[in-house]
Amino acid sequence: MTFWKKFLLGIAGLFIAFLLMNFIVMPWYVRHDTLVKVPGVVGLSFDEAKKQLDEAGLEGLQGDIRYDPAKPIGTVVDQNPPADQTVKDGRRIYLIISGGEQLYDVPNLVGRTLREAKFMLNQRNLDAQEVEYKPSAQYPTGIVLGQIENAGSKVKKGTRIGVIVSTGMDAGDIKVPDLTGKNIEEAKKLLAVNKLTIGKINYQPSANVPLNSVIDQYPKANTMAKENQKIDVFVNRENKKKIVIEGEEDGIKESEQEVKPDDGEFKDDSRKDDKKKDDVKSKPTDKDKKGDVKTKPTDKKDEKKTTPQPKNEKDKDKKDGTKKNNEGTNF
C-alpha cells in the first residue's frame, strides 16, 4: 500500500505542477492572454512616438530613413505594424523617420572644363550657373577656376552651383605679329615696333625655315596681347649642310657636317684653316731659294777651261792633213 500511495502522490504532484506552469507561470511570462492595440504615432517626433509606445507596453525602434521635403527631419512618416492593429504586449514597433529634404555633396569643379562641371553636377541633381568670367594665366579658356559653394558642402536638390570660368590670358589691344621665318634679331625688332618683348627662346632643329629663324611662337600670330607682353619663340638651332670634297681617288665624295649657329652669322672656320694651310704649302721657303742659286749654270770662262774645242772644222782638217804628210815623208 505504501508504494501505491507514493505513486499516486507523485502523479498528483506532476499534474498540479503542469497546471501551475500552463495557467499561471507561462501566461505571466509571455502575457499570452494580453493583447495590445498599437497606437498611431505617424507625424510625431521620434522621441514622442517612442514614449507613447512605451506607455502602451510596446517597444519603439528606429527603422529606415525616408527623405520627405514635406516632413521635418526626425518626424515619424510610417510605422510597422500600422496603427490600430492588435499585437502581443511588448511587441517591437519599427518607425520610419523622415530625413527631411535630401542634401547632395558639392563636387570639386576647379580645373574642369565647363562641360565636365555641368555633367558632374547633373549626376547629383544639381545645376551649374556661370556667375563670372575672369582672365587667368594658369587656366586656359573655358576652364573653371573657382566656385561659389565650397567642395564638400551639402545643398538641396536642384541647387544652382555658381562657377567662375577662365577666359585665358588677359587680352589686350595689340595684335601679335607673325614671326615665323624671321631670324631672331628681326623678330626682336618687329616685337619692339609693336610694343611687345621677346620671351623665352626655345631651340630645336627644323628643315622648314633657315638657320636661326623662328619656327613657331606663343601666343600665336594675330591674337591680341597687352603692351610689353612677352612672346615666346621656337628657333631653328641646327641644320645639316653637305660639303663636297673633290680630288679623291674614288671620285667626288659628299659628307654631312652638323652646323651650329653662333651669335651672329655662321662662319666655317675649318675651311678657312684648310685654305691657310694650302697657301703656306704653295709659298717657297728660304731654303728652296738657296737651292735655286746652287743649281744655276756656270760662267762661260769655266766652260772654255774645262772643254777646249777647235774653232771650226776647217782648222781640224788642216791639222789632220799635215799629220798625214809628215808620216809620208818619213818613209
Last residue of a domain, one of 166, 195, 212: 166
Q: Is residue 45 part of a domain?
A: yes
Q: Is residue 152 part of a domain?
A: yes
Q: What is the pLDDT along the chain (331 residues), one digit of tens a residue?
A: 577 777 777 888 888 887 777 766 666 665 555 788 899 999 999 999 999 999 888 999 988 888 888 888 899 999 999 998 888 888 899 999 998 888 899 999 999 999 999 999 999 889 988 888 888 877 888 899 999 989 999 998 889 999 999 887 766 778 889 999 999 999 999 999 999 999 999 998 988 889 999 999 988 888 778 888 899 999 998 644 444 454 444 444 444 444 444 443 334 444 444 444 444 444 444 444 444 444 444 444 444 444 445 444 444 444 454 444 444 444 3
**Which range marks the domain in which residue 30 is found?**
24-98
Regarding whether 67 and 32 lie in a shared domain, the answer is yes
Regarding whether 236 and 180 lie in a shared domain, the answer is yes
Regarding whether 74 and 132 lie in a shared domain, the answer is no
Q: Is residue 303 part of a domain?
A: no
Regarding whether 91 and 31 lie in a shared domain, the answer is yes
Residue 137, domain CATH: 3.30.10.20
Last residue of a domain, one of 240, 258, 291: 240
Q: Is residue 15 part of a domain?
A: no
Regarding whether 195 and 160 lie in a shared domain, the answer is no
Q: Checking DSSP bridges between strand 144-147 and strand 92-98, what pairing results, if any? A: unpaired
pTM of this structure: 0.38
Regarding whether 93 and 32 lie in a shared domain, the answer is yes
Q: Is residue 281 part of a domain?
A: no
Regarding whether 76 and 31 lie in a shared domain, the answer is yes
Peptide bond preceding 219: is omega within 30 degrees of 0, i.e. cis? Answer: yes
| Residue 220: closest CA among 262, 178, 276 | 178
Regarding whether 92 and 37 lie in a shared domain, the answer is yes
Residue 323 CA to residue 326 CA, distance in Å, equals: 5
Residue 43 CA to residue 261 CA, distance in Å, equals: 87
Residue 230 CA to residue 140 CA, distance in Å, equals: 17
Regarding whether 231 and 187 lie in a shared domain, the answer is yes
Regarding whether 146 and 89 lie in a shared domain, the answer is no
Q: Is residue 111 part of a domain?
A: yes
Regarding whether 92 and 79 lie in a shared domain, the answer is yes
Regarding whether 108 and 158 lie in a shared domain, the answer is yes
Last residue of a domain, one of 80, 98, 116: 98
Q: Is residue 259 part of a domain?
A: no
Q: Is residue 288 part of a domain?
A: no
Q: How many domains does the chain have?
A: 3
Q: Where are the alpha helices (DSSP H) in the chain?
A: 2-20, 26-30, 46-55, 114-123, 184-193, 269-282, 286-294, 300-306, 313-330
| Cα 317 from chain centroid (whole Å) | 115
